[in-house]
Chains A and B, each alone.
Chain A
Amino acid sequence: MSRLNERFKKLYKIGLVITFAVFLLFLFYDIHNLDSDSKRYLSEHYISEGLQETGATNLVASVLYDYRAFDTLGEATMILTAATILAFLVPITKATMFGTTFKSIVNQTVKLIIPYLAVLGAYLLLFGHISPGGGFVGGVVLSIIPILLTITYSVEFSEYIFKPDQKKLVEDIGAIGFVLLGLLGVLTGSNFFASGQAYFRTGNAGEVFSAGLIPYINLMIGLKVGAGLAIIFNSLIKEK
């Protein structure tokens, strides 16, 4: 009897999911058939005027860090909150990791990779406004360095090189720097997060020092995301 009951419950759940999926399918079909191409003025504007208005060759960066920089502030705050919650939840006592020992070839290769990772991360951060990349991507690449150290050597070694307190400090400095960069706009008599409108357009599009505040915001986001992800990974792996 109980087996039948369980099977019925499972079928019920699957049925619910399938019903919802079919419903969404019909909804998307209807929506897709609507003529909504005439209402694309916002994205058209971003594509055609974005370069002149923000000075960033990378369109994604211009939307992410200039038009809608306030959203990015909220998203970055969410990463910081998640990192803080994990650091707060996981006890400080260090659990030993599963006893994997790697051959020396792995250890040597990791040593070789790390400088390249650092260069790649720095490139993605600093050239985010003129080539594909940006603060989030660069931060993730940079955070791979402590994560690699944790995986190949141990949590202790990784935290000996990058102290948890220092990572937290870097994360907070990134967050504060982001807000302060936004406040520069207020200081020059314009609005919060104004870059192009508030005399921050320096250089021509395509140069490293161009696009107003975007490169600096990229740098801050990179610090914050990189440190945040490293904290999150180490906290999760320490958990018993």
Chain B
Amino acid sequence: MEAAVWVIILPLLTAFFLGISKLYFKRIFFPLVTGSAIIYLFLLILVITNSYPPKVYSIGDWDLLGINLMVDPFSALFLLMIAILFFPFIIFSMKYNKFMKHDYFIFAYLMIAGISGMVLTADLFNLYVFMEVSSLSSCALSLYKKTDRGIEGTFKYLIMSTVGSFFILLATILTYYLTGTLNMAEIPLAFEDIPFKIKSTLMTFFVFGYAVKVGLIPLHAWLPDAYEDSPIPYNVLSSGLVLKSAVYALIRVLYIMFGVDFLDESRLLNIVVFWGVITFIIAHCLAYQQSNLNRLLAYSTVAQIAYIMIGLFVGTEAGLIAGSFHILNHAIMKGTLFLVVGIFHYSIAAVEIKDIKGLGYKFPILSFTFVVASFAIVGLPPFNGFLSKWLIVEAALEAGFVYVAFFILVGTFLSLTYYLKVIVTLYTKNEQELEMEKAGLSLKLPTIFLGSLCIVFGIVPSLPLSLINKIPEFLLDNEDYIRILLGG
């Protein structure tokens, strides 16, 4: 499994070489970025196809004494998301960003390295280190425009994310103090003798820390501000990958280290499901009030992540499959929406909803893509969002959360209202002449690619589901995971 470690160090090396290329060899910038992205795509596909049964790669040949990387279907899902989003992101931002391209791509590659490190590692402290790499470079990208609003939003983001990191680090230190090991397979074995009270306190620290990074209400306040004036391709990666990687870390820590039985016993599953319901209802209501497109999509992200949390925390096999499917679908749908908004911003500097009045007739294909993606995110058939939402409702009903199923229906109507508001504005006739900068093919192609995935995954859901169906096997029952990591 040599490729697993290359998935982490190739983006790191690319970022370091970009730093040199910025100073002395400006000409190799384009071949470096695109060439490395293409190689990276192949590496990701290689790792994803080899993810079942899970493989372990021991860094430095130290086995349990050092750090191990492990590829299982759940991490493969995240690598798949990187593979889908990263190449469109690069093509789009090459054209979209007009200044300081080197720094932008240095941070982007560092962020990707951090995220891939997070999803591959099987070591608690290594998880923390890579999380810091990804969130620090994510902060850097979100203030990239250096406008006043951007700096204010990023400052909030930085403070909140540091508070979250503090709790995660505290919990990590205490875990090491209690168990004497950082390996994710040995911690659950050593955890059996720890009293319930201390274990649940540790769990609370982890949940609080990651809930800040995920952005559950009332810990979400940084998210819309950070998205408001940041480069829009970054928003695609942030809502698609950075927030999701925090979800990944939370699920990995809770399901593997604590085990689903303990989660059930400590009532955490019920608490997070209830928290999720409150989050999406409030976030939908807040999204309805927004006039800024970026903020609207940011609140929509908060709501969608609440759906994901509900799916993952129902605690059954069906719930894990539904939540993981929604992780993938949300990355694609929200990516499409952000990219379309990005093109509107690029062409006519549109930020508010009223600015895009009548654009439906000027950009027919793009507006159609927007409509497709927003119907998918609302949850209308036959798009991909419908399927995963339906699976979440089914899983919630099966596990006995009847009120969740009802409120998801209410939430669907709420989200329909504000997306319809945008769509109606888009197709309202506007006589006013607009000064437009033409959006080239390099902006349109990534958008249409992601938009078409919305339809493809809606009609042929078996493509991603063949990978996703294997996820609960190594997550719900942590014994298999532990056995493989221990080298059985």
Contact = CB atoms under 8 A, between A and B. Distances in A.
A186 B59 CA distance: 10
Given A172-B20, A175-B16, A69 B103 contact: no
Nearest to A40: B180
Interface stretch (A29-37, A107-115, A154-162): A29-37
Query: What class of interface size applies to chain A in its complex with B?
Result: 35 or more
A51 B342 CA distance: 56
B177 A75 contact: no
B145 to A, nearest CB: 12
A194 B67 CA distance: 12
A88 B66 contact: no
Given A77-B133, A89-B143, A70 B178 contact: no
Interface in B102-127: 103, 106-107, 110, 113-114, 117, 125-126
A198 B49 CA distance: 29
Interface string B164-196: 000000000010011111000000001000110
Contact of A39 (B58, B114, B190, B197): B190
Contacts of B190: 39
A34 B195 CA distance: 9
Residue of B65, B107, B133 with highest tally of chain A CB at under 10 A: B65
Interface stretch (B5-13, B37-45, B239-247, B461-469): B5-13
Given A77-B110, A81-B110, A191-B61, A88 B100 contact: yes
A57 B141 CA distance: 42
Nearest to B66: A67
Nearest to A77: B133
B140 A71 contact: no
Contacts of B57: 191-192
Contact of B60 (A43, A171, A185): A185
B60 A39 contact: no
B179 A39 contact: yes
A27 interface: yes
Contacts of B103: 84, 88
Contacts of B174: 27, 31
A164 B107 CA distance: 19
B483 interface: no
Nearest to B59: A70
Contacts of B117: 74
B65 A42 contact: yes
B154 to A, nearest CB: 10
A179 B1 CA distance: 18
A191 B60 contact: yes
Interface string B60-97: 11100111000000000000000000000000000000
Interface in A131-181: 165, 168-169, 171-173, 175-176, 179
A229 B163 CA distance: 24
Nearest to A175: B16
A182 B146 contact: no
A67 B23 contact: no
B152 interface: no
A127 interface: no
A80 B13 CA distance: 12
Interface string A79-118: 0111011001100000000000000000000000000000
B433 interface: no
A70 B198 contact: no
Nearest to A164: B23
Given A70-B67, A80-B16, A193-B59, 19 more contacts: A30-B195, A31-B198, A39-B179, A42-B181, A69-B59, A69-B60, A74-B129, A81-B136, A88-B100, A173-B20, A175-B12, A176-B13, A179-B12, A190-B61, A191-B61, A192-B5, A195-B60, A197-B60, A198-B61
